[in-house]
Structure formats: C-alpha cells, structure tokens
C-alpha cells in the first residue's frame, strides 16, 4: 500500500439529504487528496454523518462510534470526525465527547462545507476540535461533490425548515428555510445533464416553499418548469412536499412537462384531523383529500407516495380508523410507515396521552398489511404492460439489473450488456410483492 495516499471512509445515517451531504464531505476530502477506503479499518479518517430524527439512528451511530475505540488504540493517527444533525442538538457535543473522548472532530450541520478548514486545523493541533455553530447556516456554493448515486444526482434547492411539526427535531437542528438562488440550481442541473446524469432529484425539507425567502419572486413551480426545459433526456423528481403548500400551480407545473415524473411524495402523517392539529401540520383530512383529488383530476395516472405515523400522543382507535379509511381512499403507490417515537426536545415528547407500545404495534401491523395489499393489487395491473425504465444498478444478489419507471415502480430484468444509466423498454412478466420482473424489449 502506498503510504502517501490517505484514505477516507464515511458512515451515513438517515435520509437522502444526509446521503447528499456525505457526497459533499467526500468531495471535500477528494479535493484534499484522500481516496475512498474499503472500510473503516483501512481508513486514515472516518467520518460519521449522523441523523437525530429517530432515536434508534442516534443509538446506532453511538454504538458504531464506540466500536472504533479499539481501532483508534491500534492506530493513533486515525482521525475520527462526527457531524450531522445529532451533534447540532444543544450541549450534545460535550456529552458525546465525554462518552467517546477519542473523537477528533465534532462539527454540525451548518459548517459541513467548511470541513476542509476543520480538518486542516485539527491536523495541526492535538486536542479535539469542537465546532458546532448555533446560528442558521448560510448557503455555500461551489462545494466539491463526489456523487455516488449515478444515474441519479441529488441537488439541494434549500436548507432548513420553518414548520415545527410537533414530533420533529429538524427545525431545531437545521435552522430556518434558506433557498439557493434559482440560477445556481439551474446551472448545477445543466452541468449534471452535460455530465450524463439521467435523473435529478431536487431536495428540500419542504420544496413547495422554495423561494419564499428570496426577493426575486422565484417559486418551486417555476423552478421545476425551467429545469425541465433544459435540453436532453432526463427525469426530474423532487422531495419532500408539504400538503399545506402543495398548490394548484404546483400540480399544473408537474403536468406541464413529460420530464417531470408523475410521482409525488405527499406525506399525510395521519388521516385524523384532530391528530394533524396536534402534529401542527397546518392542514386537515379534508384539505389533504382535496389536494389528492385535484392532483388526480389534472394528472389521473399520477403516483402518490406518503409517510404515515401511528401511535402519536392521544391517537384513539377512531383516529387510527380515520387513517385507515384515508389510506383506502388514497390508494397510495407506496407508504413509509412509522410508529411515533418520542424525541427529546420536541413539543410532542411533552404531550399527555403517550400511546402504549403494544397498541402502536398492533396499529402499524394493520396499516402495513393494508398498504401491502394495495401495492399487490397495483403491481398485478402492471403484468403484460410495456414500461420505460431508467436502469439504475445491478443487484448482485438477484443477479439482474434494476431500474424504476417514472412512477417509481422498481423493475428487475436480465441483460448481457451493462445498461446502467440507460432508458430501456421492458415488458412486465410477473410481480414480486412491491417490485416487478420484466423482459427487455428492443
């Protein structure tokens, strides 16, 4: 092994936002001459990019940091850095360091883009460097990125959140909404398409409020229309939408261009207006159904996926039945289902009427069974159809290629040729639960 080459390894927890932020850390390290290590054992620097949305992600991160103690003993020069939203919580850095004194760098969500300066500083000093900025971060342009999800590219359009849903810690650790300038986003997308990326996924905690903080009148509907007008064959996706800001203008913008996937992630969280109010979601059951109805009126075949939480404080059996009836009505094309988990520092964690785990478990199983049944029926309707998919990867366990149609449905198929990054036509031959099996057609 060449001793001059320094290697990095990044361990990422949480959502697409974090995956993309790890691409930025990897980009910064690459620009400093580091290359990717096979695993933490062969790395000179290990970075934990943490998530604190759910307690179990935090527990896993702490468990994995603890496991590096032995490695650090064997290799005193190993740098261990911990960042992400876990460390951004008040007083968290100090308590983390008291548990794991061998950590070298602790940084937050607002100064990730300064990782080069942080690492350079650390390399010239012995003691642990703690730099967690408490104020809202500004917007950095030009951070190098080492992208890992070809043919898809993630593009941040905004940071932070203003919504303060009562169960969520994000606004406390990621600050208030800050939108990137429209031209910077468009330039990044143009560049990605030129580089050969075939799918762009725009990221924000609530993409529908993009531009509210800008003075030039930019909004999300105009942004997606302008990106879709860039020359070339590619797909445009975005996440996450907030139903309260999901306007008619948005729906018509999605309908306006074939490059914009007819697939919308619209988290409902609960079918009970009472629970939605307790969650501080700023819409009720009727308003959500109104948005769904409008979307289906303008784009009848539009796929809709969602997030649903059960066991929120004070959720009664009747409230849960409201969720069940809404799921049946919506016929969602997919749902991320969760049991509410009490998160310190949130309003909901202090609420009366926390629900027994056994009750929540029963509810989630009922919900999962229902959604699986809906998805099975939807999958069955695909059999015999011809669909265009974007080939994304090779699944070595299944020994076949995989890709999604514009509605987000996963299709597996075999091919002698590497087709990753190509649009191909497949005929669906059978279903396999949530996914589909297909045959390539010329």
The footprint of ligand SF4 (CB under 6 A) covers 161, 163-165, 168, 170-171, 205-206, 242
Which C-beta is closer to ligand SF4: that of 30 or that of 163? 163
Which C-beta is closer to ligand SF4: that of 164 or that of 329? 164
Sorted by sequence, the CB contacts under 8 Å of residue 345 that are 6+ apart come out as 89, 90, 169, 172
- DSSP class of 15: S
Which C-beta is closer to ligand SF4: that of 175 or that of 403? 175
Which C-beta is closer to ligand SF4: that of 234 or that of 338? 338
Which C-beta is closer to ligand SF4: that of 246 or that of 407? 246
Which C-beta is closer to ligand SF4: that of 241 or that of 333? 241
Closest contact distance (angstroms) between CB of 170 and ligand SF4 is 4
Q: Which two tokens stand for residue 161?
A: 């959140």
Rounded to whole angstroms, the Cα distance separating 26 from 388 reads 33
Among residues 135, 157, 133, 113, the alpha carbon closest in space to that of 16 is found at: 157
Which C-beta is closer to ligand SF4: that of 110 or that of 242? 242
Closest contact distance (angstroms) between CB of 437 and ligand SF4 is 35
Closest contact distance (angstroms) between CB of 113 and ligand SF4 is 20
Residue spans of alpha helices (H) in 32-134? 55-66, 69-74, 92-99, 115-123
Closest contact distance (angstroms) between CB of 95 and ligand SF4 is 23
Q: Which two tokens stand for residue 312?
A: 């929120």
H helix or E strand, kind and range, residue 437: strand 435-441
DSSP SS3 for 84: strand
Q: Which two tokens stand for residue 64?
A: 């994995």
Sorted by sequence, the CB contacts under 8 Å of residue 337 that are 6+ apart come out as 307, 308, 309, 310, 364, 367, 368, 371
Rounded to whole angstroms, the Cα distance separating 340 from 348 reads 10
Centre a 10 Å sphere on the Cβ of residue 422 and count the other Cβ atoms it contains.
15
Closest contact distance (angstroms) between CB of 68 and ligand SF4 is 30
Closest contact distance (angstroms) between CB of 265 and ligand SF4 is 12
Contact 440, 425 (CB under 8 A): yes
Rounded to whole angstroms, the Cα distance separating 134 from 108 reads 9
Residue spans of alpha helices (H) in 263-394? 273-278, 285-298, 317-330, 357-382
Closest contact distance (angstroms) between CB of 15 and ligand SF4 is 10
Q: Which two tokens stand for residue 94?
A: 């100090």
Which C-beta is closer to ligand SF4: that of 237 or that of 404? 237
**Cα end-to-end distance, the chain, whole Å:** 46
Which C-beta is closer to ligand SF4: that of 272 or that of 378? 272
Rounded to whole angstroms, the Cα distance separating 272 from 298 reads 26
Closest contact distance (angstroms) between CB of 168 and ligand SF4 is 3
Closest contact distance (angstroms) between CB of 97 and ligand SF4 is 27
Which C-beta is closer to ligand SF4: that of 173 or that of 437? 173
Closest contact distance (angstroms) between CB of 246 and ligand SF4 is 12
Closest contact distance (angstroms) between CB of 271 and ligand SF4 is 17
Strands (E), 72-206: 79-84, 105-107, 129-131, 152-156, 158-159, 178-179, 199-203
Contact 391, 412 (CB under 8 A): no
Which C-beta is closer to ligand SF4: that of 122 or that of 174? 174
């Amino acid at each position: 092994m060449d001793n001059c080459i320094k290697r990095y390894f990044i361990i990422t927890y949480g959502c697409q936002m974090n995956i993309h932020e790890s691409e930025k850390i990897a980009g910064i390290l690459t620009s400093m001459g580091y290359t990717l290590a096979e695993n933490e054992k062969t790395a000179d620097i290990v970075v934990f990019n943490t998530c604190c949305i759910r307690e179990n992600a935090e527990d896993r991160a702490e468990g994995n940091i603890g496991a590096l103690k032995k490695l650090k003993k064997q290799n005193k020069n190993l740098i261990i850095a911990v960042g992400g939203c876990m460390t951004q919580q008040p007083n968290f850095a100090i308590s983390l360091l008291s548990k794991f004194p061998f950590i070298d760098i602790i940084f937050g969500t607002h100064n990730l883009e300064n990782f080069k300066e942080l690492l350079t500083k650390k390399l010239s000093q012995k003691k642990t460097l703690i730099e967690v900025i408490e104020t809202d971060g500004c917007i950095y342009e030009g951070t190098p990125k080492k992208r890992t999800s070809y043919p898809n590219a993630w593009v941040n359009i905004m940071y932070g959140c203003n919504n303060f849903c009562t169960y969520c810690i994000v606004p406390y650790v990621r600050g208030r909404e800050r939108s990137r300038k429209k031209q910077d986003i468009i330039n990044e997308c143009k560049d990605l398409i030129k580089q050969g990326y075939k799918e762009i996924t725009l990221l924000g905690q609530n993409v529908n409020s993009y531009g509210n903080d800008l003075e030039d009148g930019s909004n999300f509907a105009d942004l997606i229309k302008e990106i879709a007008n860039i020359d070339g064959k590619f797909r445009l996706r975005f996440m996450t939408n907030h139903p309260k800001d999901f306007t008619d203008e948005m729906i018509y913008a999605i309908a306006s261009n074939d490059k914009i996937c007819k697939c919308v992630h619209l988290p409902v969280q609960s079918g009970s207006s009472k629970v939605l109010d307790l969650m501080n979601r700023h819409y009720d059951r009727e308003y959500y159904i109104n948005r769904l109805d409008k979307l289906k009126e303008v784009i009848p075949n539009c796929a809709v996926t969602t997030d649903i939480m059960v066991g929120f404080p004070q959720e009664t059996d009747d409230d849960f039945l409201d969720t069940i009836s809404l799921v049946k009505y919506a016929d969602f094309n997919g749902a991320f289902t969760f049991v509410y988990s009490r998160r310190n520092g949130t309003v909901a964690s202090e609420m009366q009427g926390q629900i027994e785990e056994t009750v929540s478990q029963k509810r989630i199983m009922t919900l999962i069974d229902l959604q699986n049944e809906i998805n099975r029926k939807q999958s069955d309707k695909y059999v015999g159809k011809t669909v265009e998919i974007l080939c994304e990867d090779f699944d070595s366990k299944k020994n076949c290629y995989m890709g999604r149609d514009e509605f987000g449905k996963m299709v597996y198929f075999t091919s002698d040729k590497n087709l990753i990054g190509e649009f191909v036509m497949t005929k669906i031959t059978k279903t396999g639960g949530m996914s589909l099996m297909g045959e390539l057609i010329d």
